[in-house]
Amino acid sequence: MDINRTCYLFLDFDGTVFLHDEIPTEIREALATVQRAGHRVILNTGRSRGGLDFGKKKYQGVDWDGELYGGADYTYLGEHRILGKMDPAECEAWFRSAMERRAWINVECDKQNGCFHFDGEDLPHSQAEKQTYLEAYRRLTEGQTLMKLSVGVTSVENEPTRGIHVVDQQTYLELFPKGLDKGAILRDFCERYGIEREQCIAFGDSLNDLAAFAYTGKAVSMKGSPKELEALASYRARAKYGVAEGVKHYFPALFS
């Protein structure tokens, strides 16, 4: 990476740049410093647009360049990824697959949302139970634009969250092949705007960021990240606000 040329910082959202829906001052100031030097900040996130106004390209003092690029638990179709409608038949197929794999799934529609839990006892659900789930899903989504699906991969301090069935990374990839691969999303971004991946740095804190780390080569893992992610990181942050630490590691002259 040549820091004398424009560099692109691809940031995961929750747990990385945002902590409890706030951008800590230290992170905000570090990002603003690299932006003033001509480098670019891009969000590569699994977060919904809902509740955050990115239309003005600014949030809590940070300017976001270009489009908001999604990853993680997103899945979308079309050129305008965030705004594009999802294919109903494809979404129902994923819903059925999640049911078979006993993962929970969140369904986000344009007017209402729902969460389905398929985990519980070890025995498979009966056909009647599966039909009940499917009918509830169809009632929820009928006549609405389906904006987002997400499945259960959540863990807290390396332990499964109570009441949520944790599925492994490969299962998640199989369930959401278009939505999870942040590496493919970064590749699309770089190809679209003629960016060399050697000029990119990925920042993340979870298994959802693995593909992005593998693609960029230069990557910063947050404190407490899974070992698999740390193994791919070119820099492992030790401080709570790892984005700021990572930025200062790669752009020391800007902070001297």
Q: What is the pLDDT of residues 200-236, one digit of tens each?
A: 999 998 877 888 899 998 999 999 998 989 999 999 9
Averaged pLDDT score across all residues of the chain: 72
Query: Helix 242-250 crosses helix 25-36 at what angle (to 10 degrees)?
Result: 30
* pLDDT, position 76: 30
167/44 Cα distance (integer angstroms) = 22
pLDDT score for 122: 58
What is the per-residue pLDDT across 20-43, written as a single tens digit (0 to 9) for each? 667 788 988 898 888 889 888 877
| CATH of segment(s) 8-72+180-255 | 3.40.50.1000
Q: Where are the domains of the chain?
A: 8-72+180-255, 88-175
Grade residue 237 by pLDDT with cuts at 50, 70 and 90. Answer: very high
C-alpha span between 145 and 88 (Å, rounded): 9
Residue 58 near residue 43, CB atoms below 8 Å: no
DSSP string, 178-229: TTS-HHHHHHHHHHHHT--GGGEEEEE-SGGGHHHHHHHSEEEEPTT--HHH
189 pLDDT higher than 50:
yes
The pLDDT confidence band at residue 95, using thresholds 50, 70 and 90, is: confident
- Cα–Cα distance for residue pair 210/218, rounded to 1 Å: 12
**Cβ of 132: how many Cβ atoms within 10 Å?**
12
pLDDT tens column, 108-143: 787 888 888 776 555 567 889 889 999 999 999 888
